Structure 1
């Protein structure tokens, strides 16, 4: 059984509660105290029921005693019951376990704005936790496991948040959302079972910063849904990491998808985006784009990904875009890059139809990056923004790895300060790059620097080189008070 490191925090909470309770003692009697949002109700398997002081030995009795806004505090122990929460309360546990013993649902939510924290929910038949037609439920720091079908089942339930939870050893799957919108699973782990997380006819849901592993079928199954966002997740050891079926406008961003049979499968889906992902070491396919009910996948955008060492890196029967201004890194691409812009000169062909990546990357995507692109037209929506794509030269220089390359697309770049170069690198302009500076244009304080293709207009020095060696400047123009200044032992 998994435990969470909340013991110290709970000791502090319980100590505070004991202090407040003791401050309300008269003789040998204790009275329940009021909190700003309501009263506190206590539950312990060691208690004898004491209605006057709101002390109970079952969770359901504590819930029944509570009113809207109250907190039901459950001390550690295993509580063999299935419970119904029919009012907006907080159920706060000391790693207490609710054991449904095979009941249909271990915990049933029958109210909006319910909060459950630091609890274990186990051994339901259909699900450990059921939310039907109620919304804005928060489940935090909970373990949900050992349920015969799903850990969580939500039907027509919107705006719920699941934070720092572990869902494991649930036979059919971790969580199943049907006709439910704006649900979020954050910083959680979903391990084992047939399915990980299923979205059926849902919209605007998020899975973020989570681990999904060891699923017999799909780790994330998105069916008939719209705007599902999977961000910064790690998915491995499953038959298929992510499947999009008859779904639209979803985004898979910044995920590590490796050592599955299939990485990502797109069936009869349109206008989805896959970007900034590492899709590696999947046995069958890295990405497979096929049909569903005779409808091919089309207009999906797949760019700025590492697609490496898969049985088959990609397969596309439909009409999808495998690049925008930038494509993907393919470990089996064999083309050349004659102009040094970090993009291959010939397309990468993708089997299955007529698909190709017209802008395959020459270097794998990594952080810090070995190759950086700068364009004054880039925005935060550009793939790789903040890692290897920027709209100022200084940001590109700061971000690139030592001995890496910063490639600057044509445009006009204005700065009030010098572009400071303090590492070995190559700064290469596309051919019509203009740098306008209110100070020095380029200020170089590093060895092994190569500059080319930059036209500089500056108030002071166009290029200033201090304490530097092996600096090469070619195909540049410089207009300023002093086009170039070399100081202190420069060669």
Structure 2
């Protein structure tokens, strides 16, 4: 329930008579011309849903609403702004449960369902839309255990333009079909961005995934004819896409994989198709970037197709940044040193489509030394929207340089943070940093100080973390899990 501060309003009526009424007294909770207002008409959203007629719109003013509610009729929930209209479950369970067809939710922050709960659950309801919201199921745990949106036996749902963070799964689709997951940003979710379990004909389109174990997971023998297209999957600690437990006839098309531990991880897969994807894994970030394609068991994915020949069109596979073959007939497809990455007999010689800017890292040499210290810098950039614009700030109040590979002299001792700002022709920009340790002549810098300042300690921790995640992920695959509300497996 939304809490309001009791105030007194003085209303002058007629010839000076003053009527004092509490400001938290609401008009009757009724629907007026297809509209209901919270908190003006109704104290709570649940009260508004109960009062509304079919196809009414419920407008919710900015505020924090501490409630968990069920939407069991066709209504449209509209928050005034997704950063200021907050639905807070107080870690008590699923915040919004939808059981009616054609419900829409737009413009909220939906948060704090608590462990093993969902911010939004759509259960046996079709044609639901969840748009332009910020969804975090479990903000209180160091390792969230809830799902952002859970679709169970629900078809033709649209989840578009949302930001998902602090979830175990950003979005789970179980035994559901014909859903569209598009234009969402799914970052800092602990396990998976989108998990598709025993579901068919779903579209995962033009989303951004990052900083979790996996971007997309397709699992189960009934998982087929799903399409994963034009997504950016970056920096996952296990795999950009994990396909396991006998899914078949799924398509991965025009995705870009950047800096993932594994690009695509395959375990018991058949007849899936992958083409016009771009795989980037610069040597500067090895070994955290392990390989583009990994087969968990010998023979995994042996019937999968890595080009578009199944469509009857001109053959064209995927772009691999580690492909060393040549294009002897100048048709844009490599024809030596095949198959590329062990799978692709028609590798593309250049990335497919425009690739958004990403900084793989900064190379600086040396990272430490005595003043005056001359350091050579180079920033590794992935992207096709050239020209790039560079701006270097060396952290010592010197002038900005605009080269991709500048050299700078540090004249005074100190710990400096050099920053590289890069922008592509579309206006997309990224910032990366590297630390430089400069000591005075005759002094020495401890190894621990250098490691800490240069980030190598963080790098070692990251590698150990990846090994830990991979080991515990394998343990979860053996069935050591609990059953969630929807009857699906919720892995911990």
Query: TM-score under structure 1 normalisation?
Result: 0.57
User: What is residue 129 of structure 1 aligned with on the other side?
Assistant: 120
Are positions 1:150 and 2:147 aligned together? Answer: yes
Are positions 1:232 and 2:230 aligned together? Answer: yes
Are positions 1:298 and 2:302 aligned together? Answer: yes
Q: Where in structure 2 are there 5+ consecutive unaligned residues?
A: 1-26, 139-144, 283-288, 356-385, 387-492
User: What is residue 110 of structure 1 aligned with on the other side?
Assistant: 99
Q: How far 1:137 sits from its partner (Å)?
A: 0.8
Q: Is contact 1:144-1:151 (8 Å) kept?
A: yes
Q: Is contact 1:347-1:358 (8 Å) kept?
A: no
Structure number with higher relative contact order (C-alpha < 8 Å, ≥ 6 residues apart)? 2
Paired residue total = 306
Q: How do 1:36-435 and structure 2 match up within 5 A?
A: 39-44=34-39, 47=40, 55-95=41-81, 96-125=85-114, 126-147=117-138, 148-170=145-167, 172-192=168-188, 193-215=190-212, 217-224=213-220, 225-239=223-237, 240-245=239-244, 246-281=246-281, 283-291=289-297, 296-303=300-307, 325-349=315-339, 355=342, 357-365=344-352, 367=354
Q: The residue matched to 1:162 in structure 2 has which SS?
A: strand
User: What is residue 402 of structure 2 aligned with on the other side?
Assistant: none
Q: How far 1:31 sits from its partner (Å)?
A: 11
> 1:130 & 1:31 partners in 2: Cα distance?
26
Q: Is contact 1:303-1:324 (8 Å) kept?
A: no
User: What is residue 455 of structure 2 aligned with on the other side?
Assistant: none
1:109-161 CA deviation, whole Å, 9 max, x = no partner? 12111111111211113111111111111111111114251111121111111
Q: Is contact 1:41-1:70 (8 Å) kept?
A: yes
1:239-296 CA deviation, whole Å, 9 max, x = no partner? 21111112111111111111111111122111212122211017111122344xx873
1:316-369 CA deviation, whole Å, 9 max, x = no partner? xxxx9xx97334444444444444444444342467xxx56444444454559x
Q: The residue matched to 1:222 in structure 2 has which SS?
A: strand
Judged with a 3 Å threshold, the aligned counterparts in structure 2 of structure 1 residues 122 and 359 are, in CA distance, closer, same or farther, namely closer
Query: TM-score under structure 2 normalisation?
Result: 0.57
> 2:345 & 2:64 partners in 1: Cα distance?
59
Q: Is contact 1:154-1:180 (8 Å) kept?
A: yes
> 2:227 & 2:269 partners in 1: Cα distance?
15
Q: How far 1:107 sits from its partner (Å)?
A: 0.6
Q: Is contact 1:347-1:356 (8 Å) kept?
A: no
Judged with a 3 Å threshold, the aligned counterparts in structure 2 of structure 1 residues 56 and 265 are, in CA distance, closer, same or farther, namely same
> 1:199 & 1:365 partners in 2: Cα distance?
26
Judged with a 3 Å threshold, the aligned counterparts in structure 2 of structure 1 residues 276 and 328 are, in CA distance, closer, same or farther, namely closer
Segments of 4+ in structure 1 off by > 6 A?
29-33
Judged with a 3 Å threshold, the aligned counterparts in structure 2 of structure 1 residues 361 and 87 are, in CA distance, closer, same or farther, namely closer
Point out the structure with max Rg over C-alpha: 1
Judged with a 3 Å threshold, the aligned counterparts in structure 2 of structure 1 residues 213 and 85 are, in CA distance, closer, same or farther, namely same
> 1:77 & 1:34 partners in 2: Cα distance?
22
> 1:295 & 1:339 partners in 2: Cα distance?
32
> 1:259 & 1:93 partners in 2: Cα distance?
36
Q: How far 1:300 sits from its partner (Å)?
A: 1.4
Judged with a 3 Å threshold, the aligned counterparts in structure 2 of structure 1 residues 364 and 104 are, in CA distance, closer, same or farther, namely closer
